[in-house]
Amino acid sequence: MNSNDVQQIEGAVDKKSQRSAWTVKGKQWPVMESGISNLTKDQTAALVHFEDGQTQQWLLVRVEDPDQPTN
């Protein structure tokens, strides 16, 4: 996998807790999880749950598309 690879994700939102969870489409693991409001920020923490029961905290960072015009 390199920086030009694109993968679809699928997931769900728990309306009560406002948490979202997702995986790469067609795969069960790892499962990523974050609060919905956090996903609007330029960077936020996410929990990543692996099949062996291990959980890690990762940092999600918004990366601007250099080909898109800025406002």
What percent of the chain has a predicted confidence (pLDDT) above 90?
77
Q: What are the pLDDT digits (tens) for 22-40?
A: 999 999 999 999 999 999 9
Q: What is the DSSP letter of 11?
A: E
Furthest-apart CA atoms within the chain: distance in Å: 44
Phi, psi angle pair for 46, to nearest 5°: -140, 145
- Is 34 a domain residue? yes
Q: What is the pLDDT of residue 63?
A: 86
Q: What is the pLDDT of residue 28?
A: 96
pLDDT band, very low/low/confident/very high, at 5 (cuts 50, 70, 90): confident
Structurally, the chain folds into a number of domains equal to 1
What pTM was estimated for this model as a whole? 0.80
- Is 36 a domain residue? yes
- Is 69 a domain residue? no
